[in-house]
Structure 1
Amino acid sequence: MSLSEINTFFKNQTVFVLGGTGFLGKILIEKLLRFDQIAKIYILVRPKKGKTVEERFCDLFDFPCFERLKKENPGFRKKIVFVSGDCEQPNLGISQETEDVLIAETSIVIHAAANVKFDQPLRTATYINVRSTQDCINLAKKMPNLKAFIYVSTAYSNCPYINIDEKFYSPSVTPKTLLQIVDSLDDEILDNITPGLLGKWPNSYVFTKTIAEDLIKSEENNLPIAIVRPAIVVSSAKEPMPGWIDNFYGVIGMTIAIALGVVRSVHAIKKAPCHLVPCDYVCNIILASAWNVAKEKPAQIPIYNYSGSNKNLISWQKYAELIESCAWDYPSTKVLWYYGFKFTDNKFYHDLQTFLFHTVVFSLVDLVLLCVGKKPIAVKNVKRLNYTLSKVSYFTLNNFSFTHKNVERLWGNMQEDDKKLYPFDMSEFDWGNYIRRTVEGGRLYLLKETEESIPLGHKKVRFLRIAYYSSLVLLFYCIFLLVKVIFNFFF
């Protein structure tokens, strides 16, 4: 019989989850329901025209990550309540009747809602990441049974500081001022002044997350709050199944593009650590932090920099090597070109690779499409890809370091049963096995390819290898002829 203190804590509690339909939210909900301790989970869900509550329910729980839950706890449906609302709207877009129910019943709030796009307009980022947090705080203050409020931020919320501690940093503008600016200006003026407002912050996402943290800081004496700052959240390590992923964002999208032979170069400090954290481990520390806040009632708001263990980090170069070793073993039938990729800190080399293998090659692809009477789409897509990589480069070209004392202390406070049920310690994490499972998961859950298609993938890779080296020979021959013509012309 389990002696889990965390399971005991969640027993008969009612949890209000913001961001429950997102990548991280799905894993949180799955785990809470699978252990069957929870009394009820309220999930904020954006209303959709033409969709009934039942249809939205099916949309959420139709993902593969819920298959294990359906087998182990088939009666989970009775514990789920969808709350119609929207984090982009004032007061979370919920009705007064719904608010009254949440106030009366909720004992744990997990705010994991965010728009993680790096190029989102400042207005959108402010409403979703700042105003929704303010509204959620105001709602939580009215909850008489509240035991824990967990705010999920990001390890890069204070990225202008390369060495980031588990503490609050002063933002360049207060939450109140930012909201006043956003509410009073039209889109054109706001877009024009956005670069000045962002200052040293590279995008509106991390900028608004640090301002949201300042909101949390102001509630130190009013609410039982903790902040969890995950770094680069990627595929699951163990639960609900290894390698599960449901999106192409960030590093995962970049990795898929690399495996398909599309991306040839990424500008990065090769020896800098890449702070990858599995989504299920992130969920585990979120749930553990809720238990710990309720148990210890700390005088100061605890902040958890969850970015892996400093004893067991891997570099971008090592990550590329592990991906490459798996790419040959699990080739996709959707591969577009022969694998050939490097992280490089040499900007000239990166720009040259990008020009030759992104711009030139895909221009030739569009030329072929035009010749056969099809719409040219390759250059348009590769421009979008290059734009995305340029947004990511800020994080790959900085050598970030994080302190983890609070994370280590939380892990040390947990019983052995809880460490088995809610693992998040990464000091002995097996990166090789994890990356292999990540590649397998990306192939299965994103590209929708089973193991049976691997032989076909190998066959396609062999063909592309011949085409790749043949094209290189042709290219060098053309260069040779060009040089010869120029030499004969002048000499």
Structure 2
Amino acid sequence: MRVKDYYKGKNVLVTGVTGLMGKALVEKLLRSCPEVGNIYCIVRTKRGQDPQERWTQTTNSMLFDQLKEKNPESLSKVIVLPGESTAECFGLSEEHQKLLVENVNIVYHGAASINFAESIVSAVKLNMKNTFSLLELSRRMKKLELFVHVSTAYSNFPRKGEIKEEVYESHLSWRHVLELVEDECGCETLLHLQPKLLNGHKSNYTLTKGLSENMVNDYNRYFPVMIVRPSLITGIYKDPVPGWLDMDNFISLICKGVRMGVLRVILCDKSREFCHIPLDLSIKAMIVAPWKKSLSSKKEVDVICCQMDQENHQNKMTFHTVHRVAYPMSLSYPDKQAMWYPFSLYTTNPSIYHVLFLILHIFPAYFIDMALKLSGRDPQLLKVYSSIWALFELNKYYVNPHHWFSTSNYKNLEESLLEEDKDEFSMATSDFDPENFIHANGLHVVKHHWKEAENSVNPEVLARLRRFKVAHYTLCSVLAIGVSYQAVQLLQSLM
């Protein structure tokens, strides 16, 4: 049985469809499994837009261009249901609950908050309460074959060494944590105990994702479940739009900081590899894994860690690789809001980093903000550097020398594919070139996400960049002469 045949006539429920992975999953199902049944999507009202308007806006993305060209009528299979992820039964009406209970075969649960700065109360409500609500609804589904939970490779961040594709028992009871958010007193208790509850996690996001995995694992007694753990999602590798990404991630934010001339010192080992997975490969894994599970009588929870092969040095993407590609791009496509000429220093020494952060970031920001305040404008730079500091705290997740991910189950998906399925669903990366990949991703983000492609030919932006370049090298020369002079004076005094 081919992958597309497995989905023939099956009705699918997807949460989080306006998010990055949700929309990519729906697009791929419709394009590569054309005989799939209805795809039910729970969408909430947001900023005055009703659910149907939000979905229509989502499909206006170039991600859907190929689908619209080849099979535009397939979009009629998407049935948008108004809901709210933190409400009981996902905020669905009785009529829509009955519709799902009677018809759904596969559930993909991807709705979550990926905000690393979320308070523990909000993270529990957005990442755990909604999962519990959907699991309870799924228990009532009469035709349910599989519940697929989208987690993260970093759900077990405090662990050291190999992180296997299995569910690790949390130090907390997910039931107890859920009970605490049901009343104001419990919420205050959670906030008070937050530092202790984290227990090695660096954010409430990874903590609640780990607890959600425990929850999903417990529901395996009622119906088959699967957990998919993507690492850092990067742009599309090949299918359908190479380089496509409609949100900022860790890499793009670093590039943005360098392009603006505000990110001048970076704490990292330039040779350290990024743990990442291109968006299209993770989506293919999410579609292929249920097909593969249907061929087995295995009752245990399947865990799939979606991560580029860390043993293949050809696939290796490091800070050095990113810098080698991103720096020339920052000059070819300068930022019209740039505040200095792009340059960046790298160090692995935290003490040196802290000193340079003060000298190159905080001190200039303080004086510029003071000047802005005196001129009647809002100070901005200190806030920017507060965000940059937080950004490099995230670096600990993506470049961590203390653990590595087992990806045996992920690799087995490719090995299990029939030859005739490989055109649509292959996850092979034998021809992956990190520099070409970063360039395609960067070019797409600049042109379509940041919409700054015209900067490469804008005479005002280019002239501004040239002025910053002259100022930068003039300042560097003055500092070099000053330091050399002081060094000579010191040597002469010692002789």
TM-score by length of 1: 0.90
1:6 match: 3
Contact 1:148 1:291 (C-alpha < 8 Å) held by counterparts: no
Rounded to whole Å, the distance in 2 between the matches of 1:415 and 1:452 is 46
2:144 match: 146
Q: Cα distance, 1:169 vs. partner?
A: 0.9
Which has the higher mean CA deviation after the structures are superposed, 182-191 or 409-418? 182-191
Contact 2:118 2:204 (C-alpha < 8 Å) held by counterparts: yes
Give the 5 Å matches for 1:43-442: 43-48=41-46, 50-162=48-160, 163-184=162-183, 185-310=185-310, 311=312, 312-370=315-373, 372-442=375-445
Rounded to whole Å, the distance in 2 between the matches of 1:342 and 1:399 is 24
Contact 2:455 2:462 (C-alpha < 8 Å) held by counterparts: no
Give the 5 Å matches for 1:14-33: 14-33=11-30
Q: Cα distance, 1:22 vs. partner?
A: 0.4
Specify whether residues 63 and 405 from structure 1 end up closer, same or farther in structure 2 by C-alpha distance, changes over 3 A only.
same
Q: Cα distance, 1:481 vs. partner?
A: 9.1
Residue-by-residue CA offset, 1:154-198 (whole Å, 9 max, x unaligned): 111111113211112110112112112333435443212111111
Rounded to whole Å, the distance in 1 between the matches of 2:445 and 2:360 is 24
1:473 match: 477
Residue-by-residue CA offset, 1:308-333 (whole Å, 9 max, x unaligned): 10223333333333333544444444
Rounded to whole Å, the distance in 1 between the matches of 2:226 and 2:469 is 52
Q: Cα distance, 1:73 vs. partner?
A: 2.3
The alignment yields a C-alpha RMSD, in angstroms, of 2.7
Structure 2 counterpart of 1:166, which letter? E
Structure 2 counterpart of 1:130, which letter? M
Which SS does the other structure have where 2:254 is aligned? Answer: helix
Structure 2 counterpart of 1:420, which letter? D
TM-score by length of 2: 0.89
Contact 1:320 1:342 (C-alpha < 8 Å) held by counterparts: no
Q: Cα distance, 1:399 vs. partner?
A: 4.1
Which has the higher mean CA deviation after the structures are superposed, 385-394 or 432-441? 385-394
List gaps (5 residues or longer) in structure 2: none
Q: Cα distance, 1:475 vs. partner?
A: 4.3
Which SS does the other structure have where 1:11 is aligned? Answer: coil
Which has the higher mean CA deviation after the structures are superposed, 278-287 or 478-487? 478-487
Q: Cα distance, 1:217 vs. partner?
A: 1.6
Specify whether residues 261 and 420 from structure 1 end up closer, same or farther in structure 2 by C-alpha distance, changes over 3 A only.
farther
Structure 1 counterpart of 2:158, which letter? P
Specify whether residues 384 and 12 from structure 1 end up closer, same or farther in structure 2 by C-alpha distance, changes over 3 A only.
same
Which has the higher mean CA deviation after the structures are superposed, 179-188 or 349-358? 179-188
Structure 2 counterpart of 1:171, which letter? S
Find the partner of 1:39 among 37, 40, 50.
37
Which has the higher mean CA deviation after the structures are superposed, 333-342 or 37-46? 333-342
2:453 match: 450
Contact 1:269 1:397 (C-alpha < 8 Å) held by counterparts: no
Q: How many residues align?
A: 484
List gaps (5 residues or longer) in structure 1: none
Structure 2 counterpart of 1:19, which letter? G
Q: Cα distance, 1:231 vs. partner?
A: 0.5
Which has the higher mean CA deviation after the structures are superposed, 175-184 or 470-479? 470-479
Which has the higher mean CA deviation after the structures are superposed, 138-147 or 474-483? 474-483
Residue-by-residue CA offset, 1:233-286 (whole Å, 9 max, x unaligned): 111112331111122243332332233322123323433321121111111111
Rounded to whole Å, the distance in 1 between the matches of 2:298 and 2:432 is 30
Rounded to whole Å, the distance in 2 between the matches of 1:174 and 1:86 is 25
Q: Cα distance, 1:296 vs. partner?
A: 2.1
Rounded to whole Å, the distance in 2 between the matches of 1:444 and 1:357 is 29
Which SS does the other structure have where 1:75 is aligned? Answer: helix
Rounded to whole Å, the distance in 1 between the matches of 2:400 and 2:343 is 21
Structure 2 counterpart of 1:202, which letter? K
Which SS does the other structure have where 2:384 is aligned? Answer: helix
Structure 1 counterpart of 2:279, which letter? C
Q: Cα distance, 1:6 vs. partner?
A: 1.4
